[in-house]
Structure 1
Amino acid sequence: MNSIICGVDVSKDWLDAQVRPAGVFERFGNDADGIGALAALCRAHGVALVVMEASGGYERSAFLLLWELGVACALANALSVRRFAEAMGFLEKTDRIDAGIIAHYAAVKAIAPTPPPQAAQLRLSSLVARLSQVTADLTVQKQRRHAARDAETRDSLDEVIALLVRQSRRLEGEIASLIDDDPLWGRLDAAFRSVKGVASRTVARLMAELPEIGQVSNKAIAKLSGLAPIANDSGKRNGHRPVRGGRSGPRSILFLVAHIAARYDPHLSSFQQRLQSAGKPKMVIRIALARKLLVILNAKARDARMEFVNAT
């Protein structure tokens, strides 16, 4: 367990930091100068770990720059921190209180540093996120085009759609080049696409949003994706085991792809038929198929990583 921890409450403009157990509190700007000053505070107080919540991307600059300045950092789940605060009797919520709670939570949880991703991983994540945005915008514009009744509106929408299509193709090309240029990613790409129904966009989403694939157990990867049943038993009662939490991005793409892959892959197809014959609800079948596909992909990624290590 880290003896001295700095909890940081992150907002768009500010970094509110509290050092535990000293109780020192300071506010810094969420910019390069402020992050540098935060690093100096941590060095002055012998901080072993800085912990901050994932805050919709506002924490990214501080997280990466602190690592560059030699200060170890970790990210905490915001919902877990909030529930911890309530369990400890803190119903109030201010930036100062939140910073202290984050530090306390990290100490109790014995949170370990979270190494920053490599530059290529960051770029892949950014490209995939932007492609998802462009795809969503394209869907909206096409729906508006379909509903438009006058020629002037349709012409305007056609211009926007053409621009989005060009951006989509450019992003797809950059993502494909990035994956092809990395020997390990190239192997993972080939391994994933050996499953019929798994296309390039699925591969990119998994690599960007689930980089742990092939490096953790099947149970762990299912939990990361929110596809693991959560125990709900008490005494003699065996309750319904729901799936919840996890990363929504990989889960949503796995739901879609598993349904397609089940048409072609004999293992997935027979698995689906067994569940249907057993009278399982549609949603249960959908979740089970997605988890089954994820386990298959995790095994293929594990083999691909092993082959890469042996080859190098």
Structure 2
Amino acid sequence: MNRIICGVDVSKDWLDAHIWPGGAAARFANDAAGIAALWLFCRSHDAALAVMEASGGYERLGFMLLWTHGMPCGVVNAKSVRRFAEAMGYLEKTDRIDAAVIAHYGAVKNTVPTPPPSAAQQRLAALVGRLCQIVGDATINKQRRSAARDAEVCASIEAMLAFLKREQRRLEGEIASMIDDDPLWARLEQVSNKAIAKLAGLAPFANDSGKRTGNRHVRGGRAGPRGILFIVAAIVAKFDPNLKAFAQRLQQAGKPKMLIRIALARKLLVILNAKARDARNEFASAT
């Protein structure tokens, strides 16, 4: 018997739900009370899984609270769902139709639950997000400094930049410490280096046709982990001599900054994967 899927289209204020198969549909507020009502809706239709797209963070509350209520929830890639909709002939687009498409996609692709992050992983994500904001604010203030002419304004900008630099270093230290203590890394060895690079969106894909050999580009993968790896790799490259030398070699070869970021993130991922594999083997031998 096929699983019953509840597709959920997420917006800032609303959650549109659709049951597949069956076709029952409803709209709920994107708040705690609305999510509780969505859970009851899923339960009343015997849904085995709620499926929603990653929606820039608007899906987080619903995702976490549905799991808290005991409703397994899976998050899928919005671009994949849109391509599925086009392939299946869904020409119109409304919130209600999108919920039906997500439910249909979840059933066809046999979507599995996405495990909720631990409290430590949520904190790590929050710290990385804040670090990105700090780096962005520093870039903006550097641009303002280059255009400033008044001495008092320049001094104010310099003070702000000094504060942002201190915050950046503090957050980098917190992130590095959390990564050292997070058991999540111990599960990395479950897949090969090539597979995990694809999962993170750090693997270049072939672009060949006939006699033409196109440039390889990375695409797909999990944007969240990839963003964290970019940040963490940049931090590690400041202190790890091997990664630092690797980055310098790429710079001296004239490689673009984005290529260097991707290469550092992938190299770090491979290193972590190897360390996790060795640690598991050592543990298995000791027991």
The TM-score, its normalising length taken from structure 1, stands at 0.75
Contact 2:187 2:276 in 1 (8 A): no
Alignment of 1:205-284 (within 5 A): 213-232=188-207, 239-240=213-214, 241-246=216-221, 247=223, 248-249=226-227, 252=230, 264=242, 282=255
Does 37-46 or 166-175 show the bigger shift?
Answer: 166-175
Give the secondary structure class of the aligned counterpart of 2:25.
Answer: strand
Letter in 2 for 1:81: V
Residues 123-156 of structure 1, C-alpha deviation per residue, up to 9 Å, x if partnerless? 1111111112112212221332233110232233
Deviation of 1:257 (Å)? 8.0
- In structure 2, list runs of 5 or more residues that go unmatched: none
CA deviation vs aligned residue, 1:188-227 (integer Å, no higher than 9, x gap): 6xxxxxxxxxxxxxxxxxxxxxx96434211111112323
Q: What is aligned with 1:300?
A: 275
Structure 1 counterpart SS, 2:189: coil
Give, in whole Å, the separation in 2 of the partners of 1:168 and 1:142. 15
Task: Note the C-alpha offset of 1:306.
Answer: 4.7
Deviation at 1:8, TM superposition (A): 0.3
Q: In structure 2, how many angstroms separate the alpha carbons of the residues matched to 1:227 and 1:183?
A: 22
SS in 2 for 1:149: coil
Residues 251 and 172 (structure 1 numbering): CA distance in 2 closer, same or farther, change over 3 Å?
Answer: closer
Please tell me whether the aligned partners of residues 243 and 264 of structure 2 are also in contact (alpha carbons under 8 angstroms): no
Please tell me whether residue 67 in structure 1 is matched to residue 42 in structure 2. no
Q: 260-269 vs 43-52, which deviates more?
A: 260-269
Kept after mapping to 2: 8 A contact 1:255/1:290: yes
SS for the counterpart of 1:214 is: helix
Q: Mark the CA change 1:46 to 1:103 in structure 2 (over 3 Å): closer, same or farther.
A: same
Q: Percent identity?
A: 60
The aligned residue for residue 31 of structure 1 is 31
Return closer, same or farther for 1:166/1:183 CA change in 2, 3 Å cut-off. closer
Query: What is the correspondence of 1:27-106 to structure 2 with a 5 Å cutoff?
Result: 27-106=27-106
Kindly tell me: are residues 231 and 293 of structure 1, through their superposed partners in 2, closer, same or farther at Cα, counting changes over 3 Å? Answer: same
CA contact (8 A) 1:127 1:175 kept: yes
Aligned equivalents of 1:266, 1:252: Cα separation in 2: 14
- 1:43, CA displacement in angstroms? 0.6
Once structures 1 and 2 are overlaid, which stretch shifts more, 246-255 or 106-115? 246-255
1:123 maps to 123
Do the aligned partners of 1:134 and 1:167 also contact (CA within 8 Å) in 2? yes
Q: Secondary structure at the match of 2:56?
A: coil
Equivalent in the alignment of 2:137? 137
Deviation string 1:27-74 (CA, Å, 9 cap, x unpaired) is 000000000000000111100000000000000000000000000000
- Structure 2 CA distance for aligned equivalents of residues 145 and 298 of structure 1: 42
Task: Report if the CA contact (8 A) 2:237-2:243 is conserved.
Answer: no
* Distance change in 2, residues 1:213/1:139 (3 Å): farther
What amino acid is the match of 1:244? R
1:50–1:74 Cα contact (<8 Å) kept? yes
CA pair 300-144 structure 1, distance change in 2 beyond 3 A: same
Tell me whether 296-305 or 111-120 shows the greater mean CA deviation: 296-305
1:255-307 deviations in whole A, cap 9, x for unaligned?
868998998479969x97xxx8xxxx956985667645542332123323555
Contact 1:3-1:48 at 8 Å conserved across structures: yes
SS in structure 2 of the partner of residue 51 of structure 1: strand
1:111 aligns with 2:111: yes
Q: Deviation at 1:95? A: 0.1
Residues 72-81 or 244-253, more deviating: 244-253
The corresponding residue for 1:201 is: none
- Alpha carbons 2:233, 2:268 under 8 Å: kept: no
CA distance 1:254–1:155, shift in 2 (3 Å): closer
CA RMSD of aligned residues (A): 3.6
Deviation at 1:163, TM superposition (A): 3.9
Query: SS of the counterpart of 1:67?
Result: helix
Distance 1:179 1:264 in 2: 19
- Aligned counterparts of 1:123 and 1:232: Cα–Cα separation in 2: 38
